[in-house]
Amino acid sequence: MCGIVGYVGHRAATPILIAGLSKLEYRGYDSAGIVVHENGELKLEKKVGRLAVLEESLKNLDIQATLGIGHTRWATHGRPSDVNAHPHTDASDCFAVVHNGIIENYLELREWLQQHGYEFKSETDTEVLPHLVQYYYQGDLLEAVARAKEKVKGSYAMVVMSKYHPGRLIAARQDSPLVVGLGENENFLASDIPALLKYTRRTLIIDDHEIVDLTAGQVKVKNGSADLVDKKIFEVTWEESQAEKNGYDHFMLKEIYEQPKALRDTLSGRIAPDNKRVTLSELKLEPAFIKNIKRLHIVACGTAYHAGVVGKHVIESIVRLPVETDIASEFRYRQPLVDSDSLVIVVSQSGETADTLAALREAKRLGAKVLAVTNVVGSSVSREADDVIYTWAGPEIAVASTKAYTTQLIAMYLLGVWLAQERGTLPPDKISSILSELRELPAKAGKLLDDLDITKELAQQYADRNSAFFIGRGQDHIVAMEGALKLKEISYIHAEAYAAGELKHGTLALIEDGVPVIALVTQKALATKMLSNIKEVKTRGAEVIAITTEDNQTVAKEADHVIYIPNTHPLLTSVLTVLPLQLFAYHMSVIRGCDVDKPRNLAKSVTVE
């Protein structure tokens, strides 16, 4: 995830910027850069690769500047490269900007600016910002940033400096974190608190719509109506390691709570404002090919595979195309029936999983077109596939995948609706009803996450059990698989996921007194069947934790505990159903004293076969 640092004061800015950026390295990045104000000019240095590469290139420069901004970039728009790295400047190098987030309407703005004679150097969404600031600048930097901000849709934390203002930084925030650090005759800006802790613990947390005017001697914060805001000072008491986790005890917990934002970012700019269409402007696949696809294959490993199986349910239901799902390590050895009429979709958070990469190569060898869904721009999978849909979850640090999974689900939903729209398999009113619900999912996820203390209580009650079962039907069965995997991965409790109707054909004998059974009941059409399955396990002594939608009042009569998720379109429930399961697994792991973020025998990116 991108990181921002800014400094204005009396000390040399460069080492402060580098030290701040180094504290944000843990978040993941692919390039880094700084710009400082020196002798009336902006001096810019930016490099792809580690921060050490940037430091090396700065080594021989005698920069004494006391004003500067720095950035570590996690690529979203445009591959990792020197040119795409931040800061970005306008054509005359008078204005420089660092930015975190996604400018949703950047293509539109880019065209508009090009019509006004602006030339672009990079492939990024961010580059529209310095050009816009330059366009609106008439001597007042704050005013220019405020006007540029009005044109921009999307999420951002941005910091702007100009060669015309040697002691001033302007910053703004919308849906992306931004913090001011208060010093003595010096002030700081950062996207995250760890970047500030070496210098100050006195901070101002900037809110959405606010704009900050920062000099060495004062900090002014204005709201969306341009009124001064009296911000309360937030004294940071966290240790540095805790600050990296934004106050959470573990990265996994932080990432679970980042999901509403990750979902929003992944949807950003992909649903038309009137909810009538999905736009996947990044896709290059020919319309004729899309119309003629005879079959789809979704191939992935682990959690990404579970997202793929949800994708199968969605696509088959609304596109009416056969979809096969494969575990990547099986696909390449089973002589799959893939040819030039097939589209193979590979799903991989890291984009580096060896099994997935091998499956991708096998699919290409067999003549299929390959579409990758990945979270890492420039990853091997993204480079080798014919086309890519990026999930914008930001880097995931905890080994157990959470926000990458739910953003993969969003990608599956978007892809399903897009295929349906391109192949004309779904009437416009049905597309609209799915898309309007899809748009609501980030807010619903946020509301649900605020209300899940029960998962901790349940974990306290069940942490001493040796095994657990997860059951569900349809999409719920797939989420059950993901819930069981999460529990196994991080708490080392044996967990099995079963299609609820299949349990009686298999290991029902293992259900005995006190075995927790997590029953997922979000599919209305299958709810009565699920009730029978709940009775079946209760009769044998199971203790049932049911997860169902708010409008289902029947399940409570049978289950021992019920967790309600907000109502949504039945195709979209998985993204909500999994949230309590992630938190349940998390609390189980903590209570059992396991290493939550680095569970044993598991790596974040599995680059061996």
Please tell me whether residue 33 adopts helix, strand or coil conformation: strand
Residue (265 or 396) nearer to ligand AGP, CB: 396
Alpha-carbon distance of 57 to 599, in angstroms, equals 38
Q: How far apart, in Å, are the Cα atoms of 14 and each of 64, 65, 161?
A: 8, 7, 15
> Looking at 386-542, which runs of residues are DSSP E strands?
387-390, 467-472, 494-499, 516-521
605 binds ligand AGP per the rule CB under 6 A: yes
489 binds ligand AGP per the rule CB under 6 A: yes
CA 286: distance to chain centroid? 28
Exactly one of 400, 412, 481, 511 binds ligand AGP (CB under 6 A); that residue is 400
Alpha-carbon distance of 290 to 319, in angstroms, equals 11
The interface region with ligand AGP, picked from 48-56, 244-252, 585-593, 601-609 by CB under 6 A, is 601-609
Measured from the CB of residue 466, what is the shortest distance to ligand AGP in angstroms?
Answer: 21
Residue spans of alpha helices (H) in 450-573: 454-462, 475-491, 527-539
Measured from the CB of residue 537, what is the shortest distance to ligand AGP in angstroms?
Answer: 26
- With tokens 């951002």, the residue in question is 156
Measured from the CB of residue 304, what is the shortest distance to ligand AGP in angstroms?
Answer: 4
Beta partners for 174? 156
14 binds ligand AGP per the rule CB under 6 A: no
What value, to the nearest 5°, has the Cα angle with vertex 240 and ends 238 and 243? Answer: 60
Active-site residue flag, 47:
no
Site for ligand AGP in 412-441 (CB under 6 A): none
Active-site residue flag, 535:
no
Alpha-carbon distance of 268 to 282, in angstroms, equals 13
Burial 322-350 (b: 16+ CB within 10 A, else e): ebbbbbbbebbeeebebeeebbbbbbbbb
Name the residue whose CB lies closest to ligand AGP: 302
Residue (38 or 258) nearer to ligand AGP, CB: 258
Measured from the CB of residue 400, what is the shortest distance to ligand AGP in angstroms?
Answer: 4
The interface region with ligand AGP, picked from 179-187, 197-205, 398-406, 583-591 by CB under 6 A, is 398-406
81 binds ligand AGP per the rule CB under 6 A: no
Residue (104 or 258) nearer to ligand AGP, CB: 258
Query: Would you say 157 and 171 are in contact if contact means Cβ atoms under 8 Å apart?
Result: yes
Burial 117-135 (b: 16+ CB within 10 A, else e): ebeeebebbbbbbbbbbbb
Q: How far apart, in Å, are the Cα atoms of 462 and each of 182, 287, 517, 588?
A: 46, 52, 11, 8
Measured from the CB of residue 347, what is the shortest distance to ligand AGP in angstroms?
Answer: 7
Phi, psi for residue 28 in degrees, rounded to 5: 90, 140
Exactly one of 98, 141, 195, 399 binds ligand AGP (CB under 6 A); that residue is 399
87 binds ligand AGP per the rule CB under 6 A: no
Candidates 231, 538, 598, 604; catalytic one:
604
Closest CA to 583 of 287, 313, 257: 257
Site for ligand AGP in 152-211 (CB under 6 A): none
User: Residue 203 contacts by C-beta under 8 Å, 6 or more apart in sequence?
Assistant: 179, 180, 181, 182, 193, 196, 233, 234, 235, 236
Alpha-carbon distance of 17 to 3, in angstroms, equals 11
Q: How many residues does the chain have?
A: 609
Which two structure tokens, joined as six digits, stand for 249? 């005890």
Per-residue binding letters, 532-561, with ligand AGP (x by CB under 6 A): ------------------------------
- With tokens 């589209």, the residue in question is 343
Closest CA to 302 of 519, 493, 459, 478: 478
The interface region with ligand AGP, picked from 108-116, 195-203, 223-231, 600-608 by CB under 6 A, is 600-608
Measured from the CB of residue 606, what is the shortest distance to ligand AGP in angstroms?
Answer: 5
Per-residue binding letters, 336-365, with ligand AGP (x by CB under 6 A): ------------xxx--x--x---------
Residue (301 or 409) nearer to ligand AGP, CB: 301
Measured from the CB of residue 380, what is the shortest distance to ligand AGP in angstroms?
Answer: 11
Measured from the CB of residue 193, what is the shortest distance to ligand AGP in angstroms?
Answer: 27
Q: What's the count of helices (H) and strands (E) in the chain, helices before strands?
A: 19, 24
Measured from the CB of residue 311, what is the shortest distance to ligand AGP in angstroms?
Answer: 14
Phi, psi for residue 561 in degrees, rounded to 5: -140, 145
Per-residue binding letters, 291-310, with ligand AGP (x by CB under 6 A): ----------xxxx------
Exactly one of 14, 259, 401, 475 binds ligand AGP (CB under 6 A); that residue is 401
Alpha-carbon distance of 23 to 162, in angstroms, equals 25
Could you tell me how many residues of this chain bind ligand AGP (CB under 6 A)?
16
Measured from the CB of residue 399, what is the shortest distance to ligand AGP in angstroms?
Answer: 5
Binding site for ligand AGP (CB under 6 A): 301-304, 348-350, 353, 356, 399-401, 489, 602, 605-606
User: Which amino acids are annotated catalytic?
Assistant: 2, 604
